[in-house]
Amino acid sequence: MTTKINQTSLALVRGDITKERVDAIANAANALLMGGGGVDGAIHRAGGPAIEAKCRQIRAEQGGCPTGQAVLTTGGNLPAKHIIHTVGPIWRGGTAGEAELLASCYRESLGLALKHGIKTIAFPSISTGVYGYPVAQAAVIALNAVKQFLAAHDGLDEVRFVLFDDATYDAYENALSKMRD
């Protein structure tokens, strides 16, 4: 499913984000940039040690990456040149600022992309795996955050959500259809 917001295409696809041919892929990281399971593990495995080396450097310089923020590393051996590591909130029932922090992940990642001349970026569904964010709610927040950013900023050609399983894809498709009504 694809739609257009100002100059930028917004696309939903099913797939494995490590295979995407885009300028940058976003990673659902943790605050210490230590690598983990889920999409983070897949990215580190496929991208090789150059990613971990840069994460270690960022950890030494600034202690990691706070929840809701984003940092940039090389894409290592991946087709994508850059990785934007962003740290989603852990779901704590919805009253601990999770929605604002999740929206911030997308805004900060897109801001970093513009700053680095990135034209095409792919996102996974941040926080909806290990971090437990209910996917129907996360999809609405993610798509609204991207839509609002693109309404206010030109410069990106495509923002693509690369969704790993049918349930996640369906949640995003449902949220996007409702937004277009």
- Residues marked as catalytic: 40
| Between 23 and 40, CB nearer to ligand APR | 40
Question: Residue from 10, 22, 29, 139 that binds ligand APR (CB under 6 A)?
Answer: 29
Q: Return d(Cα 145, Cα 126) in angstroms, integer.
A: 12
Least distance from ligand APR to the Cβ atom of residue 10, Å = 17
DSSP alpha helices (H): ranges in 24-160? 38-47, 49-62, 98-115, 135-152
Question: Residue from 73, 104, 125, 137 that binds ligand APR (CB under 6 A)?
Answer: 125
| SS3 label, residue 96 | coil
Q: How many residues bind ligand APR (CB under 6 A)?
A: 26
| Between 149 and 164, CB nearer to ligand APR | 164
Verify binding: residue 73, ligand APR, rule CB under 6 A.
no
Q: Return d(Cα 12, Cα 165) in angstroms, integer.
A: 12
Q: Return d(Cα 93, Cα 109) in angstroms, integer.
A: 24
Q: Return d(Cα 50, Cα 73) in angstroms, integer.
A: 9
Verify binding: residue 123, ligand APR, rule CB under 6 A.
no
Verify binding: residue 66, ligand APR, rule CB under 6 A.
no
Phi, psi of 165 (to 5 degrees): -135, 165
| Between 132 and 155, CB nearer to ligand APR | 132
| SS3 label, residue 69 | coil
- How many CB atoms lie under 10 A from the CB of residue 7? 12
Verify binding: residue 38, ligand APR, rule CB under 6 A.
yes
Verify binding: residue 71, ligand APR, rule CB under 6 A.
no
Residues of this chain that bind ligand APR (CB under 6 A) = 16-18, 28-30, 36-42, 88, 124-131, 162, 164-165, 168
